[in-house]
Copies of this chain bind each other. A is one copy, B any other.
C-alpha cells in the first residue's frame, strides 16, 4: 500500500525557505505568486495490513516535529 505523508509548518510558524523561494519567483518575473510555503512529502510503501494508528505513531515519533509541524496522511491506490 502506498501512503503519502505531507508535513507542513503550522500556521504562524515562520517559513524562511518559502520566503526565499517566493522572492526568487518574483525575481524571475512571476508576479502572480502571493505566498509560498514549503513542506516535506514522505512516500511510504507499507504492508497492506498497516493500521492507521501505526501510521499516526510513525508521524508523531519520527516523521514530523509536532511542536512546529502538522501532518496529513493520504492513502493512495494499491499500486
Which residues of A line the B interface, CB within 8 A? 6-8, 18, 21, 24-25, 28, 30, 32-47, 49-50, 54, 57-58, 61-63
Contacts and interface: CB of A to CB of B under 8 A. Distances in A.
26 contacts: A6-B41, A8-B41, A21-B42, A21-B63, A24-B62, A25-B58, A28-B58, A28-B61, A28-B62, A30-B54, A30-B57, A33-B47, A33-B50, A34-B46, A34-B47, A35-B45, A36-B42, A36-B43, A36-B44, A37-B42, A39-B41, A39-B42, A39-B43, A40-B40, A40-B41, A41-B41
Residue among A32, A57, A61 facing the most chain B CB atoms (10 A cut-off): A32
Given A21-B63, A25-B58, A38 B32 contact: no
